[in-house]
Structures are given as structure tokens and as C-alpha cells.
Chain A
């Protein structure tokens, strides 16, 4: 009896010791698991003032912010690379937030090379900028159109006349395809701006064409006006079957490269030469042109844009 008790006690002691050993081995491991990463020593108290760097001297290149800066950058990054490479000049793409800012920056000489729509170019031309090149649209034509869109399931809008008394969202007061051209179409169809229940512009900055499509898609507006080709851009974001094109405007000369007033003609010439040298057949050029949303670049003169000037005059938009 006493023997059994003694053996039981010994077993208990051995068990307790084993448990203690296991605990001693396991616990440090468990605690140790937490802090296994070697840190980099920093001293946050050592401070210095940060000064903005002065931008390098370069030819400034701006794309009218009809899309977001990112899209603008993506479209023209390769083109700028090409220009740097082929002209040996240094270029810097800058990103004005609005159409108005773009116009003013050209006026102030902050933008050397402006790539804008014809409507904005008319304004730029007034400040002394000169067109020197225009693009061939992906469609293959050097012209482009505006479109009036509505929701596929909107039964009240079937023709242009149905747009009366509807809520209209346009891209920007400075937009050509997204405002000016459709406005001309409405004018020709006897619909004035006051005949709409509401006329709003897409909120800035950037990405304004897409915003119009999305606003119509969302049902916030009955009709929207966009540049032809925008629907392809938003194809990944919405179901295009839900959007119906009510009408298209007539074609007007496409987007235009303009040099600011006072820009060295040698520079303009070098750029022009490089731009005109881009051919869609060339594989490397094709990538550049495709990214920029164009098929080619051809020479242009200011008079090419007289139809647009006429339209502006007709609509009484001349300030």
C-alpha cells in the first residue's frame, strides 16, 4: 500500500518535471515568434526642411485634359519619348486641370506645344498660338464627330427632337465633340440651350468624357454629349449595350497641335518634322500612335479650322 503511494508520488513528480521542461522549451518559442524581423534603425527626430526642386528647362507639352491625367500621361508618354529621341530636345508633359487652365497656360506661355480640340484651338489662336499639325483619327479620317447618347432603356428619346426638355450633361463648355458640335446639331434642329430641362457639365478635373457616359449610364441625366470614340474608352467600365447613340454630329477637323506665340520656329519645325515622320505602318510608330489614340499626324494650318469658327459664330459663343 505504502509502496504504491510512493510509486504514484514519483510518477507525479516525473510528470510535473516533464511539464515544466516542456513549458520552459515551448513558452520562449511562443513569445519569440512575435518579434522575428530585424528593424532598420531610423532617427525620426533628425529633421530637415524639404524644398521643391526647380523643374528642368524643357519644352512643355500639354494635352487638353479631356481625360484624366493618368490617361493623358499614358497616351502621350511614348510620343514624348519619341520626340525627345528624334529631336534631341527635352520635353516635359504638364497636366493642366481644366480646359480653361490649359488655355490660360498657353496664353501665359507655360505650355509650348498644345494638343487640343478645335474649339479650344480657336480660343488659343486668339491668343496667338498657331496650328502646325493635326491628327488622323483612328477611323482613318482627319475629322471627328460628336455623339448624343442616352440609356438604352430610355423610351422617350428616339430622335434629336426628343431631347427637348431633357436633362443634358455635356463634357465641358470648352469641349468640341462633347459640347460644341452637339450644340450645333441641336441648333440646326431648332433646339436652343434654354430648351433643355437642365444643362450641366461634367465635374473636373480630367476624365470629363468618361464622366458624361457614366452620368448617363447611372441615369442622372437623360442625354449626354461626347466625342465619338469615348464609348470605346469606357468599354471596360460599363456595359456598352446599355448606352444608345441618339445622333452623331457632322465631321469637323480633328485635334490640333499648336505652338504658343513666340515659340522658336526652328523648334516647331523640328517637332513638326518628327511628328509627320510617324507612320502607322512602322511597328514602333504604331505603338506610339495607338497609345496616343491617333492614326497619324499631318500638317495643318489655321484656316483648316474655319468651319469650327463658323459654328462658334453661329451659336453665338464668341465672347
Chain B
């Protein structure tokens, strides 16, 4: 039953006022009533005494003369007065001479009161049933000679009625005062509660986020106006929302510049501006409230700014972490994941937020998890970083990872976690293998060149002697035929030696200005007829600007023939070779592309296609040196050669010969530089 706290302020105020007035009334009414009653009774007693004495004085003559009529008139005159109940005159022996009673004289009354000779009056309270009467007895005497007694009765009921009336008037006045006080209290309470309501509404506004409120009254006088201030850089200058005493760091020479608000306020209380503007406690509250709202707004703005910065930082960090292909994860000392980046999450098939709290056994197969778990535990125990490479069989893919595990110290310097980074180095591993292969090839080339160089001379002698012996023998004989075989095989060897020397660039090159198109056309002219027999047709789209390059025409022709032959060999059932030349002046290069419609090259083979002795052809059909020799020649010219299979769609093929279905094909592209200066310089260096 908490009724009182729930009452409205106005009701409480009115209750308080009413309580005070009612208590006052309860205390005052009886007091005033009794005082009034006393004074009225006293007054009545005095009046009654005066009446009695006056009557006694006037009654002397009629008593002396025994004038009953005058006595009767006299007592009747008395009873005409308001509260006089009766009046009568007794002679010296107490016999009633005149009275105001209409039917007989009350027997009890004659001796109910008496007065001594020397006394002026004696008052006696009489009770007739519930009625109270003050009886006044006054002696009628002359020069001390008692002639009789005058008696007058005053009704106390009338006195009481007068008292009651006064109390009623007083009660009415108090009720009026209560009404007025309540009305004033209500008005006052409304004024107060209106201001409190404004405060409350603003507080609610603040709760809903609207901090741009004003509870206090508009500033009447501004400090810079009162003080004729010209310090426009002062934070209080031009500030209309906040009072100057709430603003820190004001420049006013009369202000105390303490940091503490209370100390500042102490000095402000004597300031003229404060005295003119300061209000009551509610205004203080409202103004403090406004200042609070303002500073809260500022703080919230700062907080928002900080939060935005933090979010940007977080996003940046997250982006960096997520964009990196490395798998980054953080493990705490209980070997549970605290966080990971997107790459890691993808690798384990989860979302980033799902990683937290998981263990290795939740994310990986048991063997891997065991390995990672043990490794992590070792590092947590030892505190030393781990730097290793791990091979992972990811489905049918073989992948290599460079794993770095760094212990993360906590605020006490102890190992509080573990940052693990798995970097995919499969490609680097591939490059590493290629490098090893290249080094092997280079050694092989050098060795083959050396061997070829050494073999070339004896081979020439063998060939020469075989040819000489043939001249000495009869054609068609067994020896002749054998010598023919020797010569032919010696020729094959010579070709191999020649290719090996070319591959190892141990043949002399004779470079000069030459027409690129002509070189290509010459090569086509050599093979066109032979190819056509195998239903392989060559379509040319030569650049009509006739680019001039600096190169060795013979060697380049050998490259073209190699590429054409290679294309031809890829189309056992016939097909089309599209040959394009392009001059790209801005890039400073000229290119030739050979596209065939053959079976194409598998991705695995593409990597090895320029390796020496690599061939898909059956044994005896090729040496596997054609493309590697071509590669060497093009490199010698400062250009590059590469292959794409299948042929990109934009290479539109002309119509196929009948019965030929086009395969995916392969496109060899050779790029040669137009500017030969670099090549010259490079060669001069090599020499």
C-alpha cells in the first residue's frame, strides 16, 4: 500500500497545507473558542454586574418610597435587554418587591444568590436543568444602610451561542484560508510540476536518443554583453545554450579557472552575470540537465567517431586478413580457436564466425588434427616459433604449405596463444622444380654440345670415308648397299649433332636486316606441296606492312618449318594451318602465330613441350629436339615462344577439307622484337 509515494506533487503539497491548517484549526479553534468564551463570559459578567449595580443604584428611590410601579418598570426594562432572563428586587429582608416573571416567582431563586453589604456585586452560576444562568446580586443601599437587593439573571446559553457563532466564523475563515491556500498551492504546484514535466519530457527525449533538447529558460543576459567582453575566442562568447559558469576554460579575467566545477561555481556565485541569470533549484537542475545533454551529445559524437574508427580499423584488419590467401588462425592456451580469417574458414568448410571455440578435432580429420594439436602444444610449452613446410594431399591435388606458428604473448609476457599461418607454396614448389629442370637442361645442353662438338669431326671422317668407299665399290653390290646404310645413318647422326649444336647455340648465327613475311613465305613454299598431299592446307594472313626485323633468316626459316611440321604431324587426317603475322609498332614487336586444327595438346604436355628429347611421336619418327631448338633460336633473337591449346575461339578457321572434323587444335605464337639494339647488346655481352 504505497499510496503516499504515488501521489502527485500538487496533491502532496495540498495535503501538507491542509494538514497544517487543519492542525492549526484543531489547536486554535478550541483555544480561541475557550478564550473567546472566557472573555465573553467575563464581558457578560461585567455587563451583568454593571446592569445589577446600575439597577441597584436606581432602585434606591423606588425602594425607599415603596414605589412598586417604578420598580416593576425598572426590572421590566432590564429584561428587555437581550440575554437578561430575569430581574427582580428584594427588600432588606429578602422579600421580592418586583420581578419579571409572568406567573409567580420561582421559590428557589430568592435565596440562590446573596451579596454582602459592602460588596458591589456577587455572581453565582445557576443551573436549571441543562440551562445555565449567571445570577448577579447587587445590594441596594444608601450610606451603608442596606435597603434591599437587586438580582439579574443572564442566560449563559446566549453567551455560548455567541461563542459558537464566533467559532463558526473562525472555522469558516479557516476553511476559506484552506481553500485559498489549496488554490494557491495548486497554482504553485502546477508551476513547479510544469517545469518538472518539461524536465521529464526532455529526459524521455534523451532516452529515445534526442539529446538536442533545452529544459532551462533562454538566457536572459549573456555574459559577453554584461561584461562588454571582446574575447571572441572565449568558449563562452556567443554561447546561448549553456550558462557561462558551466563552461570550462573560459577566458574571463573575473572567473576562477579551476578544473573542478564546484570550485568554479564558488567564484561564479559572486559574479554579476550569475546573480542576474541564476534561478531557483529547478532552474539549476534544468540548466545542469541541458549541460549534461550537451556534453552527453558531444561524448556520444566522440564515441560514434571512435566506434567508426574502430569499425574501419576492424574492417581493414579483417579485409587484410580475409584477402590474404594465407590461412591465418589464432589458438588460445586451451587449444581452442579464437579466430581465423576467411581463407582458413573456407579451407575447413565453415563460416568465419563458426570457427571460434572449435578445436582441431572439430575441423580436421583425426590424423591432421593430431599433428596440428601436438605441434601447437609443443610450441605453447616451448614458446619457440615453428617454421616448416607441410605437404598436403587435398583430394587429387598435391599442395605444399609453408607453416609459421608464432607464440603470442599475453599481457604478463607468458604464452597466451598461438598464431598459425599456412601459406600455400604449391606454385613456388612448381617453380622450384622447373628451376631444377632448367638447370638440368642447361647442364645437359652444355654436355650435349661438348659431345656433339667432339663427335662432329670423327663423324665427318666416317661420312667422308663411307662416301669414298662407295665410289670404290660397285653400285648394287652388297658392300655398296652397306656403305649406303652407313652413310645414311652417319647423316642421321650428323643431323642429331647439328641439332644438338643448334640447341646449345654453338652454331654461328648470321643476323641481318630481313623481311619477316618473306622468311615465312619461304618456309611455306618449302612444305606447302608436301603438306597438300596429306590434305593439310596452309592459310596465310600476313601483315601487309611487311615488317623488317633483325635476325638470322636461315634459323628463323628452320623455326617456321619446325612449327609447320609440328602442326602437320598433329593432323594425321588433314586439316588447316592458319598462319598470321602481325606488326605491333607501339609494343615494338612482330608476331607470327601458327594455329592448327589438330588434336591439341594436353595441359600436362604443354609444360614439357619445349623440353629437349620430349616427343609424343613414336620412336624413330622424331628426335624430340625440334621445338627445343626452335625455343633456343627464338630466345637467341630476344623473342619468346609459347603455346595455347585449345585454340582460342577468336581464331576463325577457314573451311575444312571434306571429311575432316576440326579438333581443339594448338596455337603457337612467336614474338620477335623490332628493335634489335637490345639483342645486339645482349649478344655482345655473351661474346
Contacts and interface: CB of A to CB of B under 8 A. Distances in A.
Interface of B: 23, 26-27, 30-31, 33-34, 37-38, 41, 60-61, 64-68, 91, 95-97, 99, 101, 103-109, 112-113, 124-128, 132-133, 142-143, 145, 163
A95 B63 CA distance: 10
B101 to A, nearest CB: 7
Interface stretch (A24-32, A189-197, A231-239): A24-32
Contacts of A37: 125
A46 to B, nearest CB: 5
Interface in A34-61: 34, 37-50, 52-53
Given A19-B23, A40-B127, A94-B65, A73 B142 contact: yes
Nearest to B34: A33
A47 B103 contact: yes
Nearest to A46: B107
B103 A70 contact: no
Interface in A291-308: none
Contact of A46 (B27, B97, B108): B108
Given A44-B128, A77-B142, A30 B105 contact: no
A281 B109 CA distance: 49
A251 interface: no
Contacts of B34: 30-31, 33-34
B105 A97 contact: no
Given A26-B27, A27-B30, A31-B30, A95 B125 contact: no
A69 interface: yes
The winner among B61, B103, B142 for most chain A CB atoms within 10 A is B61
A95 B34 CA distance: 49
Given A27-B26, A53-B91, A74-B142, 14 more contacts: A31-B34, A34-B41, A39-B132, A40-B113, A41-B108, A41-B128, A42-B106, A47-B101, A47-B105, A47-B107, A49-B105, A73-B64, A94-B65, A95-B64
Contacts of A127: none
Nearest to A47: B104
Contacts of B126: 39-42
Contacts of A52: 68, 97
Contacts of A68: 61
A23 B27 contact: yes
B610 to A, nearest CB: 90
* SS of B interface (majority): mixed
A77 B145 contact: yes
Contacts of A74: 142-143
30 contacts: A33-B34, A38-B125, A39-B125, A39-B126, A39-B127, A40-B112, A40-B113, A40-B124, A41-B108, A42-B109, A42-B112, A42-B128, A42-B133, A43-B128, A44-B106, A44-B108, A44-B128, A47-B103, A47-B104, A47-B106, A48-B107, A50-B99, A52-B97, A69-B61, A69-B64, A70-B60, A72-B64, A73-B60, A93-B64, A95-B65
A26 B28 CA distance: 11
A206 interface: yes
Among all A-B residue pairs, the 8 with the closest Cβ atoms: A47-B104, A39-B127, A30-B30, A95-B65, A42-B108, A39-B125, A69-B61, A69-B64
Contacts of A70: 60-61, 64, 142
A46 B111 CA distance: 13
Nearest to B124: A40
A41 B30 contact: no
A44 B109 contact: yes
B61 A206 contact: yes
Interface string A242-263: 0000000000000000000000
A47 B60 CA distance: 26
Contact of A43 (B33, B91, B103, B108): B108
Contacts of A73: 60, 64, 142-143, 145
B100 to A, nearest CB: 12
A77 B147 CA distance: 12
Interface in A63-87: 68-70, 72-74, 77
Contacts of A94: 65-66
A96 B66 CA distance: 10
Contacts of A50: 95-96, 99, 104-105
Contacts of A19: 23
Contacts of A96: 65
A73 B145 CA distance: 10
A44 B26 CA distance: 37
Nearest to A5: B5
Nearest to A28: B30
Given A26-B27, A39-B125, A70-B61, A34 B37 contact: yes
